[in-house]
Chain A
């Protein structure tokens, strides 16, 4: 570095004096590239910064055909965004280091989300659901108090000072007494262990009664419910003897909003074969119900996908068409002045447009399973993710990590199974991902690979995960060529816009 004190004289010099003119060629920093549409390709560096450039640019950069004199703007864009450097070791390498650490800092605190499958019982018989049981047999299908206690013990051992305790089912509210026990117990333990807990109940709202609300309110429990679209879709998807799932859901939503406040209730969309034909109607329904967000969840493979490659590809194509049609409708609403964001895109856009990490367990690398989420099943078995317990219901226990009360923390989180899974949970080291431009925006899903392709490592050319995410990410970049859309996307990320 030049001394800060010395200043030989104060005669002004021209700009050329300040350029590195001794340089004969630049150095490449790690980056990946990908065609976006017929005109543009994208360059993405290790921390997710990107440049959209005319097709052929990546080749020129790599062949060192970009020159300061002929391509001045591009040349300095490349330097400023850490794609090339004029020195073998870039002078601001530590900035890049800090940025990389920031992007991966969702790993720093380790597991936050602890899912308790509080009961497997349900009063719905949804045709796509593989796990729930319509039964009165609490002893067999509710989580025991012993297992609740043991689950809380594990949760208290998480290095993360902020943990989330999420109650799932079956229908969680059928075991409301056990939820009450669990919440009080967890709060007690949290005090002793200096942890901050967020509580979530996932429910179809059908069993919600007025006497539950005071407890839910008192303990700031968030309600995560389901809304699949207008009545004819919702009721078809979510079968109930009375065929009134939609009506009870809407009634429940209203009750929750009145009693718990707008922010404490959200709804998830499950896409089924039927839904795929009604993207517009589904978005309309969410707007009519006053939602400001909608989660067009990537289709779950557990209802659709099989080992059949062709069928998988076709189903994913259908989903993508549905996604785009719904997405356009959502953008229309925003343009007309009704703010509503699509959550899956927002996760990806945060990765693309901000320097911050995103803690969304289903799209990250290393994967969210174990690192950010763990599932305690009703019967005390421990799984790496929610999908892993679905597999177990089909008698495949590959992702079962242990048993509450028996396995130690280290057995579960650092045991042989976790080690095995970890070999395939970072897209940085997966063939087909390691060289992909979208890698920093995407994730890895060993459970899905295993369920659809027979092994955790997976094979990208026929992967539904890859097919779906590649296209959604490409689509988002394509849309962002319109600057007003990019601006809209910024408002989805931060919730406000100027």
Chain B
């Protein structure tokens, strides 16, 4: 999946955000993709993208000599940067759109798939999204909010959420956050005041005891802050999902974590157990993390059925059905975003291919030794 491309900038002093079109008559869109030489139509748009080399004296911002623009579809929202980089912010044809609010993070999880960066990008992203959000189609079903840690935008985080509610009242919002910022009650309160019933906060919780969780997220006091945060969010009526990544550090106390969640956080709306993704830090820490899913079947079964017995809503993400005991199949969801979801050669022989969540593309690097086609006849 290509979300970024680069060309030569011309006359761009400030980032331009808009929807792309290849149809010159489509003047409600902002950015024109042209494979031709100049036409008068160009003047109707805020900017032009082109694969052709253009030497111009026109007063139109242009990025030319772009290698490839095939990944852009009608209505995709892009940002054109002054250095010629064109980033896709929103794909019109996808149900897996994410708004990355910042690359900064106050945690540093051993298995982070998108390792954080420490430069202050909050103003840049705030400006980008406050312009992009009004351009998102009103019938957009769901948008993810991610990072980094989105709440590090502070008041700007709240402003963007407010804007999302006003502009996209019908859109489900799924915000990935470590929840720590909500340990400060006023932050949770302000989020509560936005009162968006379509907002779900997906918060990771990796152990029932502080030091294991703190170790996994590499931040002291994170466990207590996250729990306090969840309590504060609940107090202000926010919807909460708990996320648990399955790896060598979380497995030993997994059943105890399930019990901790039911006893102390029974108000959460959803609990997702997630297979490990081989991106970012994971490869570096693989010795500390890797355990074949076949080896944690018992622990996973105990945790999932315990919660489900008590009526909690449970899912398993990023798992291949051949690595799960069959009584857990019904909890497995096809959760991997379209552009990074793959299956193996072996999978083509499997009777359950259509129901299976498959593998992250990065799973080619390391995966269960027990991937095997299932025959149900």
Q: Using CB atoms and an 8 Å cutoff, list the residues of chain A in contact with chain B.
A: 1-2, 4-7, 10, 12-15, 17-20, 49, 76-77, 79-80, 91-92, 94-95, 98-99, 353-356, 487, 490-491, 493-494, 496-498
Contacts and interface: CB of A to CB of B under 8 A. Distances in A.
Contact of A95 (B106, B262, B264): B264
Contacts of B218: 10, 12-13
B310 A18 contact: no
The SS class assigned to the A binding surface is loop
A92 B180 CA distance: 14
Given A10-B218, A12-B110, A491-B309, 18 more contacts: A2-B220, A4-B152, A7-B108, A10-B116, A12-B285, A18-B215, A19-B211, A79-B210, A80-B208, A92-B224, A95-B231, A99-B263, A354-B262, A354-B310, A490-B310, A498-B304, A498-B305, A498-B308
Interface in B196-240: 208-212, 214-215, 218-221, 224-225, 227-228, 231
Contacts of A7: 105-106, 108, 118, 219
A355 B262 CA distance: 8
A493 B327 contact: no
The 10 A-B pairs at the shortest CB distance, nearest first, are namely A18-B214, A490-B309, A80-B208, A15-B215, A76-B209, A498-B305, A18-B215, A18-B211, A4-B106, A19-B211
Contacts of B221: 1-2
Contacts of A490: 306, 309-310
B310 A493 contact: yes
Contacts of A17: 215, 220
B88 interface: no
Interface in B356-376: none
Interface of B: 105-106, 108, 110, 115-116, 118, 151-152, 180-181, 183, 208-212, 214-215, 218-221, 224-225, 227-228, 231, 253, 256, 260, 262-264, 266, 285, 304-306, 308-311, 327
Contacts of A487: 305, 309
A267 B285 CA distance: 61
Contacts of B106: 4-7
A4 B304 CA distance: 32
Contacts of B116: 10
Contacts of B264: 95, 99, 355
Nearest to B180: A4
B266 A355 contact: yes
Nearest to B209: A76
Contacts of B220: 2, 17-18
8 contacts: A6-B106, A7-B106, A10-B115, A10-B118, A12-B285, A15-B211, A91-B224, A491-B309
B199 to A, nearest CB: 20
Contacts of A15: 211-212, 215
A94 B229 CA distance: 12
Contacts of A498: 304-305, 308-309, 327
Contacts of A494: 309-311
A438 B237 CA distance: 34
A1 B220 CA distance: 9
Contacts of B211: 15, 18-20
Contacts of B152: 4-5
A49 B260 CA distance: 10
A20 B253 CA distance: 19
B310 A10 contact: no
A20 B260 CA distance: 21
B356 to A, nearest CB: 20
A139 B219 CA distance: 77
Given A4-B152, A5-B152, A355-B262, A497 B309 contact: yes
Contacts of B215: 13-15, 17-18
Nearest to A4: B106
Contacts of B118: 7, 10
Contacts of A496: 309, 311
A80 B261 CA distance: 11
A103 B275 CA distance: 35
A92 B229 CA distance: 11
Contact of B209 (A80, A94, A98, A355): A80
B225 A4 contact: yes
Contacts of A19: 211
A5 B308 CA distance: 36
Contacts of B327: 498
B231 A94 contact: yes
Nearest to B252: A73
A131 to B, nearest CB: 40
B108 to A, nearest CB: 5
A485 to B, nearest CB: 13
A212 B108 CA distance: 69
Contacts of A95: 227, 231, 264
Contacts of A1: 183, 221, 224-225
A118 B177 CA distance: 58
A324 to B, nearest CB: 25
A355 B224 CA distance: 20
B131 to A, nearest CB: 25
Contact of A355 (B228, B231, B263, B311): B263
B15 to A, nearest CB: 25
Contacts of A80: 208-209, 256, 260
Given A12-B108, A18-B214, A496-B309, A356 B256 contact: no
B221 to A, nearest CB: 5
Nearest to A99: B264
A17 B221 CA distance: 12
Nearest to A14: B215
A242 B130 CA distance: 83
Q: Which of B183, B225, B263 has the most CB of A within 10 A?
A: B263
Contacts of B181: 4
Nearest to A96: B264
Contacts of B208: 76, 80
B311 A77 contact: no
Contacts of A92: 224, 227-228
A387 B244 CA distance: 50
Nearest to B230: A95
Contacts of B309: 487, 490-491, 494, 496-498
Contacts of A497: 309
A94 to B, nearest CB: 7
A12 B108 CA distance: 8
A15 B248 CA distance: 13
Nearest to A490: B309
A77 B152 CA distance: 33
A487 B228 CA distance: 31
Contacts of B224: 1, 91-92
